[in-house]
Structure 1
Amino acid sequence: MNEVISTGHSIETARHRTAWIEAGPQQGPLMIFLHGWPAIGLVWRQQIEHFAARGWRCVAPDMRGYGGSSRPDFTAAYAIPEFVADMVELHDALGGTPALWVGHDWGSPVAWSMASHHADRCAGVINLCVPYVARGFALPTMLPLIDRDLYAEERYPVGQWDYWLFYREHFTRAAKDFEADTAATLALLYQRRPKRAPDVPAFTAGIRAQNGWFGAARRAPATPRENVLLGQDDFDTLVAAFTETGFAGANAWYMNDVANLAYAARAPNFGRIALPSMFIHASNDAVCDTTTSRLAEPMREDCERLTEVTIDGGHNIMLEQPLDVCRAIDEWMRAEWLGA
């Protein structure tokens, strides 16, 4: 039986408003799900329902710049130390007992940072697709990990992360192109991907060369509804959220390498994480390719109690293979003696 997800929760401090959804017993142990780009907390629906039914108090905030949370209008507000401060405020509002932090995409560096900077607030940390980089999740730390057999430096100087630079060079235009047809943009980004060929670069490696995500069209092409990973109601909610907020706040997460590197350098114990840690690889993730590239190597050096699991699917693995993700987390919890 599915747990009922309640909406309309929020906390507002002098610095920020965080909105969230939740399910599960109020007195249950905390499990906090952090979404990535571009999303809202609702993308975790299937994991929330699964773990709430097992006694966890499951909370999924809209991260800064998204959904019902506040959206500052300057890019410096979208640095990892700001996101972590948001989560500390949320955690305090939820009672402050050690939580399991679960992240995906850009939510992962925030969850990893909770573990590295605020270990006392964590029972453990679980991340999907974006591995831990103790030196900081930023372009300078990613470049040495690029697969140069696939991304020749003379043609792909920043490899699959080319879109990162496009946002910096054309910040306003990038958001406007996504907003030209919000529903089509989100359908494209949340579609089920075909099996990737190992010798074909990720689409994101050529964003600047083709003058944006959609080239001369300046708007997303249509995606068949049957290819979209979200159910109709949740997809409609996602579209409504981005119709209201636009994409500027979401894209601003890519604008703060200097601040993010400096913050990582301040972590205790050189950023080493001693907590129980789990990482879920998605075998068909072309951008965050952790199965055939060196992207996950630093994580193995800096997480002392790391468990790795590979699931067959694409970047939005929690939507594409929700049962496999839940099952893998269940097994890890049992092995680590973590449970409701």
Structure 2
Amino acid sequence: MRSGPLVCRNPRSTPPRCHRPDGQAPLAHTGKGVRPMIERKTFETARHRTAYLEAGPADGPLMIFVHGWPEAPFVWIRQIEYFSEQGWRCIAPWMRGYGASSVPSDVAAYSNRETVADLVELHDSLGGAPAVWIGHDWGSPVVWALAAHYPERCRGVASASIPYIARGFALPSLVPLVDRDIYPVDTFPVGQWDYWLAFREHFTPVARAMEMDPAGILRLVFQPSPSLPEKRGPAFSATSRQRGGLFGGVELAHIPGDNLLLDGAYVEEMAHDFAANGFSGPIAWYLNDDANIEYAREAVDFARLSMPILFVHGGRDEVCETVHSQLAEPMREDCSDLTEVVIDAGHQLALEDPKGTNRAIAEWLAERNL
């Protein structure tokens, strides 16, 4: 672990602030998966059903949290608790393919066009007032796409881990940004994104393998991130096809569950949902590159974002490494009001350092009068 704060220099955006983890204990769990002040609700239209969490005053400004893969709204629970107490009406949906939301069988149903439409319908059901949208992992590309197509729905946009890629969050857009000092093209043709091809080339076998032990998969996902070596090397994801999938070769039964970033009862509920729904839907999010690129071309204002933007880097995120690589450069070109913050955490930074994440969001909200 680095002894000092991480620094990310960006002359085209607000200089990043840096927070270090405070060692906050894992999330406490009560009731049926959520704390009493957080309600579970469902919204349904002819095309889709969205289950979601809601907290805060019904007349408060909207803040909508969007989870990633393979997750649930619980990854935002500390942010929901904090900002609902600050007067925000906090909403966090289960995205399609997850939990009690719709689980379509068609791979094409998991394109950004469809997932953005889900959020638009949900947003309309909540009154449609401009919201602060916050995404993580695959939730980020959906939030970015919504902002690019419906800027009038956005007071501001925040993202953890995944920067804005105006051409679409897809392999053809990501591979040119791979750090070839770490991922030589002859050895790692698509760099750290090799797992994407594993999902594409072995869709059903990988899904079935993950369904053998959903709880083990989640224990692995929610492990605290390790300290990084002084010399950066290839991420584990870069050899996914050799190992038969992103988690191939991992003895899931040996993954400890006593120090998870997310409380065990939440993990248990998520495992139950994956056992019921399977992993095909969530993996299908990775199989819509062409459709997502086409949808990105339809963005308004040449896909440039002018609303206030916050991007939170995970300083120890190996796969979505944005501090040293070129991955965040397109975002800096296409966002005119960008603030960047680096947190000394891994991919699950909102869980690893909830106070630092909350502070980064709160300071940005105050600075931009949101």
Which category describes the TM-score, using the shorter chain as reference length? over 0.9
Q: Which residue of 2 aligns with 1:264?
A: 296
- What is the CA RMSD across the aligned residues, in angstroms? 1.3
**Structure 2: which amino acid aligns with 1:324?**
G
1:3: how far off? 7.0
RCO comparison, higher one (Cα < 8 Å, 6+): 2
CA–CA separation in structure 1 for the residues paired with 2:157 and 2:244: 38
1:179: how far off? 1.1
Q: Which residue of 1 aligns with 2:133?
A: 101
For the 8 Å contact 1:178–1:220, the answer to whether it is kept is: no
Q: Which residue of 1 aligns with 2:235?
A: 202
Task: List structure 1 runs of 4+ shifted beyond 3 angstroms.
Answer: 213-217
Q: Does 1:275 align with 2:282?
A: no
For 1:20-66, what per-residue CA distance to the aligned partner results, in whole angstroms no more than 9, with x for missing partners?
Answer: 01100011110000000001112211000000000000000000111
- CA 1:124 to 1:214, structure 2 compared with 1: closer, same or farther past 3 Å? closer
CA–CA separation in structure 1 for the residues paired with 2:73 and 2:316: 23
Q: Does 1:289 align with 2:321?
A: yes
Q: Which residue of 2 aligns with 1:5?
A: 38
1:214: how far off? 4.2
Note the 1:146-157 alignment, pairs <5 A: 146-157=178-189
CA–CA separation in structure 2 for the residues paired with 1:182 and 1:330: 34
CA–CA separation in structure 2 for the residues paired with 1:222 and 1:113: 38
Query: Which of 212, 224, 232 is the matching residue for 2:245?
Result: 212
Query: Which of 338, 341, 344 is the matching residue for 1:306?
Result: 338
For the 8 Å contact 1:76–1:256, the answer to whether it is kept is: yes
**Structure 1: which amino acid aligns with 2:72?**
I
1:220: how far off? 2.7
For 1:229-276, what per-residue CA distance to the aligned partner results, in whole angstroms no more than 9, with x for missing partners?
Answer: 111222222222212211111100000000000111111111000000
1:168: how far off? 0.7
**Structure 1: which amino acid aligns with 2:319?**
V
For the 8 Å contact 1:3–1:23, the answer to whether it is kept is: no
For the 8 Å contact 1:150–1:201, the answer to whether it is kept is: yes
Q: Which residue of 2 aligns with 1:123?
A: 155
CA–CA separation in structure 2 for the residues paired with 1:255 and 1:112: 18
CA–CA separation in structure 2 for the residues paired with 1:279 and 1:133: 12
1:212: how far off? 2.4
Query: Which of 273, 276, 291 is the matching residue for 1:241?
Result: 273
Q: Which residue of 2 aligns with 1:84?
A: 116
Q: Which residue of 2 aligns with 1:19?
A: 51
Q: Does 1:134 align with 2:166?
A: yes
CA–CA separation in structure 2 for the residues paired with 1:263 and 1:157: 26
CA–CA separation in structure 2 for the residues paired with 1:332 and 1:293: 24
Q: Which runs of 5+ in 1 are unaligned?
A: none
Q: Does 1:29 align with 2:56?
A: no
1:216: how far off? 5.6
For 1:122-148, what per-residue CA distance to the aligned partner results, in whole angstroms no more than 9, with x for missing partners?
Answer: 110000000001111100000110000
Q: Which runs of 5+ in 2 are unaligned?
A: 1-34
CA–CA separation in structure 2 for the residues paired with 1:100 and 1:285: 24
For the 8 Å contact 2:206–2:244, the answer to whether it is kept is: no
CA–CA separation in structure 1 for the residues paired with 2:248 and 2:98: 26
